[in-house]
């Protein structure tokens, strides 16, 4: 147990409500979780664990939020957890059928300097609705690893667990330049994540 604790790393899962974040959490942790009230509130948050590559991760399923500028109790707890764990890896969960709705939160997290990785969840629903979304292009624009997942089918879950180690900090100004049509590429100089290039 001591050895396990020595290698334990933290991951904070954030995302808008109804993006399948809790289902993804259950897939990663095997459904073995501890539900607690955040101190001084009636808002629940959940913690669980998983192991990948010999490293143990403690995952916190942060209450759903649309922004890091809180408007209600749940969002206040989400922001409090992030501020308390400043510097820990943040897994941003996006709905692949409505990527644009989650980008504001993703950019807020990135702008605050957290090492980040994106789970492009509900990719199966995007396919069913004939919505084309490219994890590789999103990764290129945002400069952090992006993994397409489906919490329902289990697609991409193992890849996501393996790619957590490549979560990274990226430069928000380079992202803005890229999104505005500039020539700057926010992608990090090293490998930002696996999009099928075969280099991992």
- The one-digit pLDDT tens for each residue of the chain (200 residues) are 445 445 689 999 999 999 999 999 999 999 777 888 898 888 988 999 999 989 999 999 999 999 999 999 999 999 999 999 999 999 999 999 999 999 999 999 999 999 999 999 999 999 999 999 999 999 999 999 999 999 999 999 999 999 999 999 998 888 878 777 665 555 554 444 444 433 34
Residue 198, in any domain of the structure: no
Residue 23, in any domain of the structure: yes
| pLDDT of 52 | 93
Residue 199, in any domain of the structure: no
Strand, coil or helix: 146: strand
Residue 197, in any domain of the structure: no
What's the maximum distance between 2 C-alpha atoms anywhere in the chain? 51
* 141 Cβ contact partners less than 8 Å away, ≥ 6 residues apart: 175, 178, 179, 186
**Domain span holding position 81:** 2-179
| pLDDT of 12 | 98
Residue 200, in any domain of the structure: no
| pLDDT of 173 | 86
Residue 191, in any domain of the structure: no
| pLDDT of 100 | 94
* Domain CATH code at residue 85: 3.40.50.300
> Cα–Cα distance between 18 and 23 in angstroms, integer?
10
Q: What is the pLDDT of residues 76-127, one digit of tens each?
A: 999 999 999 999 999 999 999 999 999 999 999 999 999 999 999 999 999 9
| pLDDT of 182 | 60
| pLDDT of 187 | 54
* 87 Cβ contact partners less than 8 Å away, ≥ 6 residues apart: 113, 114, 115
| pLDDT of 175 | 85
Number of domains in the chain: 1
Q: Are 138 and 117 in contact, with CB atoms under 8 Å apart? A: no
């Amino acid at each position: 147990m001591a050895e396990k604790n020595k290698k334990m790393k933290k991951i904070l899962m954030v995302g808008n409500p109804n993006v399948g974040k809790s289902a993804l959490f259950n897939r990663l942790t095997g459904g073995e979780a501890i539900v607690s009230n955040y101190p001084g509130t009636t808002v629940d948050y959940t913690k669980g664990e998983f192991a990948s590559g010999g490293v143990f991760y403690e995952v916190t399923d942060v209450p759903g939020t649309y922004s890091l500028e809180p408007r209600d109790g749940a969002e206040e707890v989400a922001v409090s957890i992030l501020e308390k764990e400043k510097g820990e890896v943040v897994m941003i969960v996006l709905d692949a059928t409505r990527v644009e709705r989650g980008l504001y939160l993703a950019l807020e997290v990135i702008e605050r300097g957290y090492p980040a990785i994106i789970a492009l969840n509900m990719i199966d629903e995007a396919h069913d609705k004939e919505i084309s979304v490219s994890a590789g292009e999103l990764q290129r624009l945002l400069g952090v690893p992006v993994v397409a997942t489906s919490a329902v089918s289990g697609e991409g879950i193992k890849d996501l667990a393996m790619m957590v180690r490549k979560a990274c900090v990226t430069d928000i100004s380079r992202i803005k330049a890229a999104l505005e049509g500039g020539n700057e590429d926010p992608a990090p100089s090293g490998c930002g994540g696996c999009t099928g290039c075969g280099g991992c």
